[in-house]
A and B are shown apart, each in its own frame.
Chain A
Amino acid sequence: MRINSEKDFWAGLMFMGFGLAFMLIAIGPPAFLVELGGRAGWKIEYGYQMGTAVRMGPAYFPTLLGGLLAVLGLIVFLRSFVSKLPKAATEVRMSFNVVDLAIGIAIYAVLAWASKRVLGNADWGMMGASVVLAVLAFAFRPKAKPLVLVIASCMVFAYLLKPLGLVLSSILLVFVAALGGHEYRTKEVAILAVALAVFSVLVFVKALTLPFPIWPEFLQ
């Protein structure tokens, strides 16, 4: 079998994955998975009540939809083998591959789990993982820089807003985001960062009274 349409191949897999996952969670995973999860310290729910067509339980609609999505995904998946579209239209031009994606998710999962164990919450692990990924992207996947750095900039901003205050975290966001672009000019970015920080303090905190700290915690 030759894959004629890469786009359909992956899209079909994605839809099937989502559909089956929703169905599996709604109906309840098989017993051995629950036991395995329990041993790893992760309590897996046993699924929800199905109910009847007259009185639908919480599992009814999701199971229906999940099944539908899996079938649609299967059609798209199978179609990828018979597609007659030209290669240029079906080629996936992604800046990373499936392995990269899996590694990225693994980094997030491991660091979040570790930080939950050590610090009691997953926040620092999430942020740390974004930073690690950003560094990895710089080193190995320069093409994925826009995606990784744009996401990292949002994460850094969100997790540092409370401890560092609006001014410093927005400056950080602008710098990290700017690194993801094609042209990076330190002076220009610095001016932009300061201007935006001042603007957001004036507009969001002073004028619109959003409850954000302006300066770092340890200064107050």
Chain B
Amino acid sequence: MEMLNNLLLGFSVALSPFNILMCLVGVLLGTLIGVLPGVGPVATIAMLLPITFNLNPIGALIMLAGIYYGAQYGGSTTAILVNLPGESSSVVTCIDGYQMARRGRAGPALATAALVSFFAGCVATLIVAMFAPPLAEVALKFGPAEYFSLMVLGLVAAVVLAHGSLIKAIAMVVLGLLLGLIGTDVNSGVLRFAFGISELADGIGFVVVAMGMFGIAEIVTNLEHTGQREVFTKKVTHLWPTKEDFRRLIPAALRGTFLGAALGILPGGGALLASFGAYTLEKKVSKYAHEFGQGAIEGVAAPESANNAGAQTSFIPLLTLGIPSNAVMALMIGAMMIQGIAPGPQVMNERPQLFWGMIASMWVGNLMLVVLNLPLIGMWIKLLTVPYRLLYPSILLFMGIGVFSLSNNPFDVLIMAFFGLLGYICVKLECEPAPMILGFILGPLMEENLRRAMLLSRGDPLVFFQKPISASFLVVAIILLAIIAAPNIRKKRQEVFVEET
């Protein structure tokens, strides 16, 4: 009953004209960048962050959230029609979606992606509404030791997701943690690693790092590839799937949704892990396993429902623990802090309008997406024909404006350029930037909680294993590491990531 009241409160907030508009702007932008390959939600949200200074907190967060789950819808369109992932989470949709398009079934594939995404979005909204409050209750009892161990778990989970070498991913996390420490030390007031540069006193802005590592590095690597992309320009007709399609896609969508929702909650999880997991599971359990890779509709339904569900449930750790599970959520934390909201379990009690308004807006946004996107597919296809040579200068300009407006200081752009170079080198050396970004955000938080926990335990490091919740987090982290280090799993993991590239 209480949940119903809360949701009603949420809808009363989300359905105000201004917030509806914000939601619409968010999901449209999200779809747009989802459709365009080479432009991701991280860079887009980072670009838009300065603009949200002038908005009210609820509107700003509703819009930014819309961009993230909107991108999951848009990504599938590109995957199906061009065989290119518009979004990293739609990588697996390419496999069967594109095959469907080649057999003249692009319409049903697109409709399937939109419909299952909507279904998954609805279920995931309910899951967030159900699980966030009790989790926030638990989180209120967390001490510094629990928080520290939780962050360790989150970072380990991020490593599991990284491509390629495990050690390199861990090293990237540690590098991120270190870079996050640059600036004034909160406890002692000492300026660390600043080389006497006054602009570094407040540390390096997360937005600047994200734009460099993801934005600039991505543009440069895209420019180095000379590959041509071919758009499936044949007119898309017969959107609606057949009865037989529905019979096959419904169970796949159900499995995808629940697996995706579960994987989204994990720290370090989110849409990407969800879509991979769902596709692999579907391949295992489906009766039509032999059709996979040749245009099986389950191969579209499962990952598409999973990535949308995962995108939404990844808000749970953010809203309840104040801990970001991926780079997008880290930006959301940035957005909340800009608005003067400290993310954490207290948000739900102190600002119920914000909390429930955001959850309700996710459902509203999903409805908008499915209603708008099916008729707008023609327009999105047109967009795909815009050549990249016109696209990237525009992206660069918006990034430049976004970064500059953070502090009105060209120094931030210099830092962005530095991280662009670092990001480029990392890509070339096969070191994933995503774990580094997560480490970067968690660096100061981790140090703070480590210090407090050690102070409380009088310097006894065993405290992390004596508290039951903290100990269980660490045990899970160790098990995760042991699992990926195990030889046969390692082989399998390599195969999965090879398939992707």
- Where the two chains meet, the residues of A that have a C-beta atom closer than 8 Å to any C-beta of B are 7-8, 10-11, 14-15, 18-19, 22, 25-26, 43, 48-49, 52-58, 61-62, 65-66, 68-69, 72-73, 75-76, 79, 92-95, 123, 126, 130, 143, 146-147, 150-151, 153-155, 157-159, 161-162, 170, 173-174, 177-178, 180-183, 188-189, 192-193, 196, 200, 204, 208-212
B37 CB to closest chain A CB, in angstroms? 16
Residues on B with beta carbons closer than 8 Å to the beta carbon of A61: 181, 447, 450-451
From 420 to 470 in chain B, residues with beta carbon under 8 angstroms from any chain A beta carbon are 420-421, 424-425, 428-431, 447, 450-451, 454-455, 458-459, 461
Residues on A with beta carbons closer than 8 Å to the beta carbon of B174: 19, 65, 68-69, 72
The CA-CA distance from A27 to B288 in the complex, in Å, is 61
The CA-CA distance from A72 to B431 in the complex, in Å, is 13
B446 CB to closest chain A CB, in angstroms? 8
**In the bound complex, do residue A123 and residue B410 qualify as a contact, i.e. CB atoms below 8 Å apart?**
yes
Which 3 A-B residue pairs are closest in the complex by CB-CB distance?
Answer: A158-B413, A146-B223, A158-B410
The CA-CA distance from A53 to B50 in the complex, in Å, is 39
The CA-CA distance from A139 to B167 in the complex, in Å, is 39
**In the bound complex, do residue B224 and residue A173 qualify as a contact, i.e. CB atoms below 8 Å apart?**
no
Question: Known contacts A154-B396, A158-B400, A159-B410: does B171 contact A54 (CB below 8 Å)?
Answer: no
Question: Known contacts A58-B188, A66-B178, A69-B175: does B393 contact A157 (CB below 8 Å)?
Answer: no
Number of A-B contacts (CB under 8 A): 191
The CA-CA distance from A123 to B417 in the complex, in Å, is 14
B408 CB to closest chain A CB, in angstroms? 7
The tally of residues in B whose CB lies under 8 Å from a CB in A reads: 64
The CA-CA distance from A155 to B415 in the complex, in Å, is 10
Most chain A CB within 10 A, of B394, B405, B430, is at B394
The residue in chain A whose Cβ has the minimal distance to the Cβ of B396 is A177
**In the bound complex, do residue B396 and residue A173 qualify as a contact, i.e. CB atoms below 8 Å apart?**
yes
- Where the two chains meet, the residues of B that have a C-beta atom closer than 8 Å to any C-beta of A are 50-51, 54, 165, 167-168, 170-171, 174-175, 177-178, 181, 185, 187-188, 190, 192-193, 196, 216, 219-220, 223-224, 226, 388-390, 392-394, 396-401, 403-405, 408, 410, 412-414, 416-417, 420-421, 424-425, 428-431, 447, 450-451, 454-455, 458-459, 461
Question: Known contacts A75-B167, A159-B410: does B192 contact A48 (CB below 8 Å)?
Answer: yes
Residues on B with beta carbons closer than 8 Å to the beta carbon of A95: 224
The CA-CA distance from A71 to B429 in the complex, in Å, is 18
Residues on A with beta carbons closer than 8 Å to the beta carbon of B410: 123, 126, 155, 158-159, 161-162
A154 CB to closest chain B CB, in angstroms? 5
Residues on B with beta carbons closer than 8 Å to the beta carbon of A8: 165, 168
**In the bound complex, do residue B455 and residue A62 qualify as a contact, i.e. CB atoms below 8 Å apart?**
no
**In the bound complex, do residue A56 and residue B451 qualify as a contact, i.e. CB atoms below 8 Å apart?**
yes
A55 CB to closest chain B CB, in angstroms? 7
**In the bound complex, do residue A69 and residue B171 qualify as a contact, i.e. CB atoms below 8 Å apart?**
yes
Interface contacts beyond A11-B168, A14-B429: sample of 6 additional A-B pairs, CB < 8 Å, sorted by A? A15-B168, A48-B185, A65-B181, A93-B428, A158-B410, A174-B397
Residues on A with beta carbons closer than 8 Å to the beta carbon of B390: 188, 192
Residues on A with beta carbons closer than 8 Å to the beta carbon of B187: 56, 58
Question: Known contacts A58-B185, A157-B397, A158-B410: does B219 contact A150 (CB below 8 Å)?
Answer: yes
